Amino acid sequence: MNTQRKAVALISGGLDSMLAAKTVMDQGIHVEGINFFTGFCVEGHTHAIREKDRAKPKRNNSLWVAEQLGIKLHIIDVIEEYKNVLINPKHGYGAHLNPCLDCKIFMVNKAKQWIAENGFDFIITGEVIGQRPMSQRKDTMPVVARESGADDLLLRPLCARNLTPTLPEREGWIDREKLHDFSGRSRKPQMEMAERYGFHEYSQPAGGCCFLTDKNYSAKLADLWQAHGHKDYELDDVMLLKVGRHIRPAPHFKLIVAREEGEGRFLQGYRKEFVSMAATSHNGPLVLIDGSPSAEDLYLAAGITARYGQGREAEQVDVKITDKDGLERTLRVKPLAKELPQEWYI
Amino acid sequence: MNREILNARRLLCPLPVIRTQNKIKEMRPGAHLEVICTDPGVMQDIPAWCRIHGHTVLETHSGNHEYVILIEVGGQNG
Select from B12, B21, B52 the Cβ nearest to the Cβ of A67. Answer: B52
pLDDT in 10s for each residue of chain A, 346 residues: 578 999 999 999 999 999 999 999 999 999 999 999 999 986 555 555 666 666 665 788 899 999 999 999 999 999 999 999 999 999 999 999 999 999 999 999 999 999 999 999 999 999 999 887 666 788 889 999 999 999 999 999 999 999 999 999 999 999 999 999 999 888 899 999 999 999 988 887 655 678 898 899 999 999 999 999 999 999 999 989 988 999 999 999 999 999 988 899 889 989 999 999 999 999 999 999 999 999 999 999 999 999 999 999 999 999 999 999 999 999 999 999 878 999 999 9
The answer on A161 and A17 residing in a single domain is yes
Do the Cβ atoms of B14 and A64 come within 8 Å?
no
CA distance to partner chain B, nearest, from residue A244 (Å): 16
- Return the beta strands (E) in A258-301 as ranges: 275-279, 287-291
CA-closest candidate to residue A221, choices A38, A4, A61, A76: A38
The answer on A277 and A195 residing in a single domain is no
**Set of chain B residues whose Cβ sits within 8 Å of the Cβ of A64:** 48
Q: In what order do the strands lie in the sheet with B66-72?
A: B3-8, B32-37, B66-72, B56-63
**Set of chain A residues whose Cβ sits within 8 Å of the Cβ of B43:** 57
Give the structural domain span for B55: 3-72
Select from A43, A49, A67 the Cβ nearest to the Cβ of B14. Answer: A43
Can you spell out the DSSP letters for A291-313? E---HHHHHHHHHHHHHTSTTTT
Give the structural domain span for A188: 6-210
The answer on A171 and A58 residing in a single domain is yes
Residue A231 falls within a domain, yes or no?
no
CATH number of residue B10's parent domain: 3.30.110.40
Looking at the structure of chain B, the number of domains it has is 1
CA distance to partner chain B, nearest, from residue A250 (Å): 30
Looking at the structure of chain A, the number of domains it has is 2
Report phi then psi at A166, rounded to 5. -95, 175
Do the Cβ atoms of B52 and A63 come within 8 Å?
yes
Answer whether B21 touches A (CB < 8 Å): yes
